[in-house]
Amino acid sequence: MAVEARGELDYEKLAAKLAAKLLQTILKDSTGAELSDFVKNLNVAKISGTSLTARDWSEDLAKLQNFDVALTIQAILKRWGYRVEPTWVYGAEATAPAAGTALASKTVSAGKKGYVFGVFISAQEANDFKLNWTSGATAYSIRVVFASKGSLMSVMPKALNEGLPANAGSTVSITNVNAGSTGIVYQAGLLYLEV
């Protein structure tokens, strides 16, 4: 096999020639046929001896339209564990909220279960906060403590209430434990999903 030595070496042409030579050698060793004979006898109108019509191919190709959807669903399942993605539900700013004010809330739709994948809490002073929901006959909460003013945004790959989903018709909320001081602003949000 000759490769031109003028100028720069064309690696793509060299690779193609090597691949063709390798295939020809393999075919000759296994079947005794030359590559040109193999290509000449290649019949793309049949698979395993069965003739294919244009309709046969179109039915196969039509199934490919679902390929991208399947990949999208796979990505969502890998990230969240469900076939849908959670969305943020934000509450409005609340100035000096009374104790137990729902700073962000979401009512679980009928026939669904509610999951929380993340929280956002912001307060201009120290306070405690609770993520609240009801699963079965039991009320649950997760307490978040702010030792001083600040903001927190947390997103989890698994629901904070995994295994204890919020009941249909119940409310998932973030509340402040103590009353806010005069002029002090609070705000919260839930990264929420229901299935």
Average pLDDT over residues 129-138: 97
> What is the Cα–Cα distance from 139 to 131, expressed in whole angstroms?
11
Q: Is the separation of the CB atoms in 158 and 191 below 8 Å?
A: no
Q: Is residue 53 part of a domain?
A: yes
Decide: pTM greater than 0.75: no
Q: Are residues 73 and 94 in the same domain?
A: no
Average pLDDT over residues 111-123: 96
Q: Is residue 179 part of a domain?
A: yes
Last residue of a domain, one of 77, 103, 133: 77
Length of the chain: 195
Q: Is residue 144 part of a domain?
A: yes
Last residue of a domain, one of 22, 53, 77: 77
Domain carrying residue 65: 11-77
- The share of the chain scoring above pLDDT 70, in percent, equals 64
- Give the model confidence (pLDDT) of 69-89 as tens digits: 566 666 666 666 767 789 999
Q: Is residue 5 part of a domain?
A: no
Tell me what pLDDT residue 168 has.
97
Q: Is residue 4 part of a domain?
A: no
Q: Are residues 92 and 187 in the same domain?
A: yes
Q: Are residues 134 and 175 in the same domain?
A: yes
Q: Is the separation of the CB atoms in 115 and 195 below 8 Å?
A: yes
Tell me what pLDDT residue 113 has.
96
Q: Is residue 6 part of a domain?
A: no
> What is the Cα–Cα distance from 23 to 185, expressed in whole angstroms?
73
Q: Are residues 54 and 32 in the same domain?
A: yes
Q: Are residues 112 and 146 in the same domain?
A: yes
Q: Are residues 153 and 95 in the same domain?
A: yes
Number of independent structural domains in the chain: 2
Q: Is residue 99 part of a domain?
A: yes
**Is the confidence at residue 94, as pLDDT, over 90?**
yes
Res. 157 pLDDT band, cuts 50 70 90: confident
Res. 40 pLDDT band, cuts 50 70 90: low
| Residue 106: how many other CB atoms lie within 10 Å | 22
